Structure 1
Amino acid sequence: MTTLNLETLNQAVSGAVAAIRCNVRLQPAGGPGDKVFPPTYVADDKQNPLKYAHETRRIGGQDVKVVLLDSVASQANRLEDALRAAWEAGQLDFPVVGVDFGSEPGLEDLGLLTTLQTPHRIADALLRDAFWQPSADQAPVPFRHSRDGEAYTLASFKNATAVYRLCPTALVFGVWDSTGPRGGLGSKFQRALVSEVIGVDFSPGVKTASRIDSAAISSGVPIYHLAGDDSDWTLDPVEAEKDKQGKPILYKSSKEQSTGKASAINHSNFRPSKDFTAGGVTFDYAQQTTVLSLPALRRLRFPVSVDGSAIPTASRAAAESAARTALAALALAAIALQRNQGYDLRSRSLLVPESATPLAFEFISSEGGEPITYTVTTQQVLDLFKAASAAAAQLGFAWQRAPLTLKPMPKLVSLIRESRKLAAKSETEAAGSA
C-alpha cells in the first residue's frame, strides 16, 4: 500500500501532480431504487417543467441523463462546515475571521459567525459591516479600514499572503471581492477544490399530498380577518376587519388561492394532489466527484511571510511550496471530514457509500497516465495537515488558531432584527398554506 506523507504531498504540489481526485459512488440509504429528492429550482422551460437541474452527460461512452443532487456551491458549504466542526473541536488549527453577535440582545443565538459560515467568506458583507477594535481604550474602525482589512483588499494571486494569514479557506474554496472598495477589480481567487454530487441515469417521480382533518372541520364555514391583527382570524363578522363598504373581509393567507375557507388557516381536509414537477427521482447510482486543482495553488505567490517581512530569494521557493502544501493538506482534511459527516443532503436525500471502501485520493500526474492511489484514514489526513502547517510555520507561514473577532455595526444589528420581525410576520401569514 502506497503511503501518503508530507514529502509526497509536497512533491505533488511542487509540480509533479496536476490534480488530486476523490470519487465516491453512493446509493440511497433506503437501498438502490429508493426515491431521493434533489434541490429544486425555478422551472423556466414550459416544455420541461421539471424543477430539478438535469442534463445529458457522456459517461462510459454513452449519453446518460443525470440530475444534480448537490451543487458545487452547496458542496463547498458542506466541506467548510466539516472544517468548522473540526476547528471548534480543536482538531485543526487555522485562521478564521468572525463577527461576534453574542452580546447583542435577541441575537445571541447567532454567536460567532465565521468565514467558514459566511457565503462569501472574507469578502462577505457581514464582515464589511463590522468593526475591528484594537483594544478597549481605542475607537473601533470598520474592518475594511483596519490593517488586516486593507491588506485583504489589496491581495492578489501575485501576493496572497494576507489571505493565507487571515482566511486560508478562501484560497481553497475561492473568493471574489466584487463588492469591496475596488469593485470588480477586487481580489479574486478561483476555486481550487471543487465537488459535486449527481444521480446517474435518473427517472423523475411523482409526489402525492393530502390531509384528513381529525376534527372534521368543514371548508364551508366562512373565516374572516380579525380587526387589528391581519395575521389572526375570527368567525364573528362583528369582530372582522371591514372593507370600505363596511363588509367583513374574508381571510386569505399569502399563498392560499381561495378566500374565507378553513384551509386558509390550516384546518379542514386537503384534497389529494399529485406533483410531477418535483416528485423526487430514482437513479442507478449517485456519484460524488471531488477534484483539487494543484495548478490553482501553484499560481499563488507569497513574496512576504505572515509577519510582512520579505522572504529571501534563496529560500522563497521552498517557503512558497510549504505554504501551498499546507493549503492542499487543508483541502484534503475537508474532504476526509465531510465524508465522516455523511451525505444527508436534505429531507429524503440521505445517501451512503455503495461499498465499504476506505477513503482514497488519486494523484493524477502532470504528464498523464494512470493515477497513483493513496488509501488513508481520517486521522492520517489530520496528522498530515498538522505536519504540513508546522513545516510552513518554520518557513514564515505560521497560522494562528485564535479568530480575528469583529463586532457588528449597529446598523447591521438593526437590519437583522427588523428582518427577523418581517420573517416572523410572513411565517404567521403563510401558516395557513402549510
Structure 2
Amino acid sequence: MTEPIAVTREMIEAWADDASGPVALHLRQKLLPVEGEDGVIFPPTYADIGYNIDTLSDGTKVATIDSVGSQANRIEPLFKRPELAPLVPQITIRFGNEKSVSLLDIGHRLADAAVRNSTLADEVRSAFEALQLRGDAEPIARLAPTSLVFGVWDSRGGGSKVPRLINSVIRAWQVEELTRSAVYIPPVDYAALEVFSEEDRETAEGNTKSPLAQKGFVHVPAGRAPGGILARGGIFRDVTVNLVALRRLNEGLPNGPTLRRYVLGLTLVAAVTPQDGFLRQGCLLAPDPAAPAAWVSVGRDGARTPVALPEQLVLAFAESAAKGFGVAPPRTVEFSSDRARRDVADQKAGTTTGRGGRKGASRKSAASEGDDGDEG
C-alpha cells in the first residue's frame, strides 16, 4: 500500500483556492457492531417501507444504516462542544420562557420555520438574497456557516440552494433480514379481579387495536416484526468532501479566499472528528481496528492519492481560519408566535413570506431517525 502523503497547512489552503487541485477527499471506514462481525444491527425504519434495503442487479442487498441527511444532523451538533464552539456563531432560539434550542440542532438550518419566524428572520432573508443576487455567501457564513458545510435550501423563501460540502452515509452490504416475535403477558388476570368481564378479555386478547390491549390489561402477541439484519459484506461509512463546490463559494469576489478557508476548516473538522457510534436502539457501531480508515485525495484525472489528515492539524487550521474570518459572539433570538401564525396563514393562502415569490414544499422524510432528506 502506498504511504500516505502528510498533509500540510499549505496543501489545505491550496485545496480551497487552486482550481486545478483535487476534486474531492474521500474516506472509507469499516464499522463493526459491538457484538462482533456477525452481530445483528437494526437499521432505521421508514414509513410504508420498513428498512430501506435495495437489491442490486447481481442480487446483492444493500441496507441504509444512516442516511446522508441523518449523518449531517448527527455531525452538526459537534460544534456545540467546548473545544469546537468558538469556531462558529452560537445562536440560540428561545421559545418564550419554556424552551431554547441551538441553531446547530435545527434540521433545516437557516431555512427552518423556527428561524424564519424569529427575530433573526430579516438578517436571514438578507443573507439568502446576497447569495442569490450577488453570489456572496459571506452573510450566511456570518450567521450560520454550518449551513454552507451541510447544505441548506431556502425552499419556503427565495429558493436559494447551497449544496452540502460534506457527504457522509453508512451502508451495510450483502444483508440478510431477520424477524422477531414477542408477546406481552399481564402480571395478573384482570378479568378475575372483575376489572372487566371474561367475555371482554376473550374479545380483546390478541387484538392490538383493542383498548384493553393498548392499556396492557390482556395478552398481546406480536409476530414476525422486523428483527434487524446481518451484514455479510460488511458495514462501511463513506465520507466525501466536495472541493469543487467549496471553490465555487464567492468565486471571483475579494472576500473569497478568507471565506473558503474558513468554511473548508469547518468542513474538515466535521469530516475528521470521531462520531458517537450509537445510532439507535440495537445499532451501536465502532471502527474495525483490523481495517484502518484511510483518506484519499481524488484528482481531476481520477487518480487516488492516500493522504494523512490528522485531527490535530485540521483543528489548528480551522482555528486559524476562524480567527482570520472573525466569528460573531453568541447570541439569543426570540421566536415569534405572531410571525409564525402569519406564516401559516400565508401558506394556507398559497403565498410565502419570502421575497422570492415561490411557494415552497416540504421534503422532510418520515425516517425514524429524523432524516430530513436533501435538506439535512
* Conserved 8 A contact 2:90-2:331: yes
1:269 aligns with 2:219: yes
The change in CA–CA distance for 1:219 and 1:200 in structure 2 (over 3 A counts) is: farther
Which amino acid in structure 1 is aligned with residue 297 of structure 2? F
Which amino acid in structure 2 is aligned with residue 119 of structure 1? G
Question: Which residue number corresponds to residue 72 of structure 1?
Answer: 68
1:167-186 alignment runs, 5 A limit: 167-180=144-157, 182=158, 186=159
Which amino acid in structure 1 is aligned with residue 307 of structure 2? T
The change in CA–CA distance for 1:303 and 1:160 in structure 2 (over 3 A counts) is: farther
Q: 1:357: Cα distance to partner?
A: 6.1
Question: Which residue number corresponds to residue 117 of structure 2?
Answer: 129
In the alignment, the residues of structure 1 paired with residue 327 and residue 118 of structure 2 have an alpha-carbon distance, to the nearest angstrom, of 23
Deviations, residues 354-381 of structure 1 (Å, cap 9, x unaligned): 12666643211123213232142x3332
Question: Which residue number corresponds to residue 7 of structure 2?
Answer: 4
> Taking structure 2 as the reference length, what is the TM-score of the superposition?
0.78
User: Larger Cα Rg: Structure 1 or Structure 2?
Assistant: 1
1:37 aligns with 2:42: yes
Which amino acid in structure 1 is aligned with residue 140 of structure 2? V
1:89-238 alignment runs, 5 A limit: 89=83, 92-101=86-95, 104-105=96-97, 107=98, 110-111=99-100, 113-131=101-119, 143-145=120-122, 147=123, 149-156=125-132, 158-180=135-157, 182=158, 186-218=159-191, 223=196
The change in CA–CA distance for 1:360 and 1:290 in structure 2 (over 3 A counts) is: same
* Conserved 8 A contact 2:30-2:291: no
The change in CA–CA distance for 1:258 and 1:154 in structure 2 (over 3 A counts) is: same
The SS at the match of 1:387 is helix
Q: % of aligned pairs identical?
A: 26
Q: 1:411: Cα distance to partner?
A: 4.0
Question: Which residue number corresponds to residue 399 of structure 1?
Answer: 327
Q: 1:160: Cα distance to partner?
A: 1.1
1:311-350 alignment runs, 5 A limit: 316=254, 319-337=255-273, 339=274, 341-350=275-284
Which amino acid in structure 2 is aligned with residue 198 of structure 1? R
Question: Which residue number corresponds to residue 353 of structure 1?
Answer: 287
The change in CA–CA distance for 1:346 and 1:70 in structure 2 (over 3 A counts) is: same
* Conserved 8 A contact 1:18-1:364: yes
Give the root-mean-square deviation of aligned CA atoms.
Answer: 3.0
Question: Which residue number corresponds to residue 55 of structure 1?
Answer: 54
The change in CA–CA distance for 1:151 and 1:342 in structure 2 (over 3 A counts) is: closer
Deviations, residues 44-93 of structure 1 (Å, cap 9, x unaligned): 5xxxxxx11111358xxx66211000011000001102223x2x455542
Q: 1:19: Cα distance to partner?
A: 0.3
The change in CA–CA distance for 1:116 and 1:219 in structure 2 (over 3 A counts) is: farther
* Conserved 8 A contact 1:206-1:280: yes
The change in CA–CA distance for 1:384 and 1:216 in structure 2 (over 3 A counts) is: farther
* Conserved 8 A contact 1:5-1:384: no
The change in CA–CA distance for 1:218 and 1:203 in structure 2 (over 3 A counts) is: farther
* Conserved 8 A contact 1:194-1:290: yes
The SS at the match of 1:73 is helix
The SS at the match of 1:130 is coil
What are structure 2's unaligned runs of at least 5 residues?
198-202, 343-376
In the alignment, the residues of structure 2 paired with residue 354 and residue 343 of structure 1 have an alpha-carbon distance, to the nearest angstrom, of 12
1:279 aligns with 2:231: no
> Taking structure 1 as the reference length, what is the TM-score of the superposition?
0.68
Q: 1:404: Cα distance to partner?
A: 3.9
In the alignment, the residues of structure 1 paired with residue 86 and residue 290 of structure 2 have an alpha-carbon distance, to the nearest angstrom, of 26
In the alignment, the residues of structure 1 paired with residue 126 and residue 220 of structure 2 have an alpha-carbon distance, to the nearest angstrom, of 57
Match for residue 257 of structure 1 among 194, 209, 215: 209
What are structure 1's unaligned runs of at least 5 residues?
45-50, 132-142, 224-234, 236-250, 305-315, 416-434
Q: 1:322: Cα distance to partner?
A: 3.3
Question: Which residue number corresponds to residue 428 of structure 1?
Answer: none
1:21 aligns with 2:26: yes
In the alignment, the residues of structure 2 paired with residue 196 and residue 387 of structure 1 have an alpha-carbon distance, to the nearest angstrom, of 29
The SS at the match of 1:33 is coil
Deviations, residues 282-330 of structure 1 (Å, cap 9, x unaligned): 11211100101111111111676xxxxxxxxxxx3xx523321221221
In the alignment, the residues of structure 2 paired with residue 414 and residue 207 of structure 1 have an alpha-carbon distance, to the nearest angstrom, of 45
In the alignment, the residues of structure 1 paired with residue 192 and residue 8 of structure 2 have an alpha-carbon distance, to the nearest angstrom, of 69
Equivalent residue pairs, number: 328
If asked which structure has higher relative contact order (CA below 8 Å, sep 6+), I would say 2
In the alignment, the residues of structure 2 paired with residue 327 and residue 190 of structure 1 have an alpha-carbon distance, to the nearest angstrom, of 13
